[in-house]
Amino acid sequence: NAGVTQTPKFRVLKTGQSMTLLCAQDMNHEYMYWYRQDPGMGLRLIHYSVGEGTTAKGEVPDGYNVSRLKKQNFLLGLESAAPSQTSVYFCASSYGTSGRGTQYFGPGTRLLVL
Amino acid sequence: GNSVTQMEGPVTLSEEAFLTINCTYTATGYPSLFWYVQYPGEGLQLLLKATKADDKGSNKGFEATYRKETTSFHLEKGSVQVSDSAVYFCALNASSGSARQLTFGSGTQLTVLP
């Protein structure tokens, strides 16, 4: 099993450009999450999904959109990138209520917005 | 709301020294508690967890006990190794709500010197 994978690993954008980050998991998990990690701030939840076709806002959703068209994939979109969105983005997945909360993380995508 | 407060780093120790990283939390209900570890350039990995009061989580020589009376989940290891150098995150998972969202502390950077 590959676990949780993320593409791309690294990307540089100019302000105003758009991009999509892809997360894929092969563990048949119901729940998927997108976090951003900034120095000294831990991880903050952007959006999450509790199943195929569902999405919900997390702590810092502004400037991002997500889609969960297939159970195994969770896409994070930036419609008009801003320098404040320079960060490391982590995707995670977990079982539903039976999983007692353990989340499995991808290796991260480093995004630089100039 | 839920919150996690971690001991500020960075922490630098010599090999074979004793490690404690403090973690306290605020949460409603009965959360599950976690320690995640992030090695340089990688995503987060679950180190250990505890799901109810007085439970002790342990893995790779690390231990943490869920103390409801002091709302704490301090991480300890009796003899650290150079390979333990990483960032350690304390996190909680609220027992209420459908999304099983994790709330993270800000992370503690540990460097172990030979």
In this complex, the residue of A42, A58, A97 whose CB is nearest that of residue B105 is A42
Closest alpha carbon within chain B to A102: B46
Closest alpha carbon within chain A to B92: A101
- Asked if B33 and B90 touch (Cβ cutoff 8 Å), the reply is yes
CA distance A32 to chain B (A): 9
Q: Is the pLDDT of residue B29 over 90?
A: no
Residue A52 is predicted with a pLDDT of 92
In this complex, the residue of A48, A90, A97 whose CB is nearest that of residue B44 is A90
Question: Which is more confidently placed, B40 or B111?
Answer: B111
* Regions in chain A scoring below 50 on pLDDT: 99
Q: Is the pLDDT of residue B20 over 70?
A: yes
- Give the number of A-B residue pairs with CB atoms closer than 8 Å: 62
Q: Is A45 helix (H, G, I), strand (E, B) or coil?
A: strand
Residue B88 in tokens: 């350690």
- Asked if B32 and B95 touch (Cβ cutoff 8 Å), the reply is yes
C-beta atoms of B46 and A97 within 8 A:
no
Residue B68 in tokens: 């409801």
Distances from the Cα of A34 to the Cα of A21, A47, B55, angstroms:
10, 6, 29
Residue A1 is predicted with a pLDDT of 72
C-beta atoms of B99 and A56 within 8 A:
yes
CA angle, A79 as apex, A73 and A8 as ends, to 5°? 45
B5 alpha-carbon distance from chain centroid = 10
Residues of chain A with C-beta less than 8 angstroms from the C-beta of B93: 100-101
Q: Is A61 on the interface with B (CB under 8 A)?
A: no
C-beta atoms of A103 and B102 within 8 A:
yes
Q: Is the pLDDT of residue B8 over 90?
A: no
Q: B38 has which bridge partners?
A: B44, B87
End-to-end Cα spacing for chain A: 36
Q: What are phi and psi of A34, to 5 degrees?
A: -120, 130
Q: Best interface-test mutation with A: which of B45, B47, B102 has the largest number of A CBs within 10 A?
A: B102
Residue with token string 């030979």: B114
Q: What is the rounded distance in angstroms from the CA atom of residue A29 to the CA atom of residue A37?
A: 22
For B16: left if phi > 0, alpha if psi spans -120 to 50, otherwise beta; the answer is left
Closest alpha carbon within chain B to A48: B99
C-beta atoms of A94 and B51 within 8 A:
no
User: pLDDT-derived band of residue B99, with 50, 70 and 90 as boundaries?
Assistant: low
The greatest distance separating any two alpha carbons of chain A, rounded to the nearest whole angstrom, comes to 42
Q: What is the rounded distance in angstroms from the CA atom of residue A15 to the CA atom of residue A51?
A: 32
Q: What is the rounded distance in angstroms from the CA atom of residue A54 to the CA atom of residue A93?
A: 14
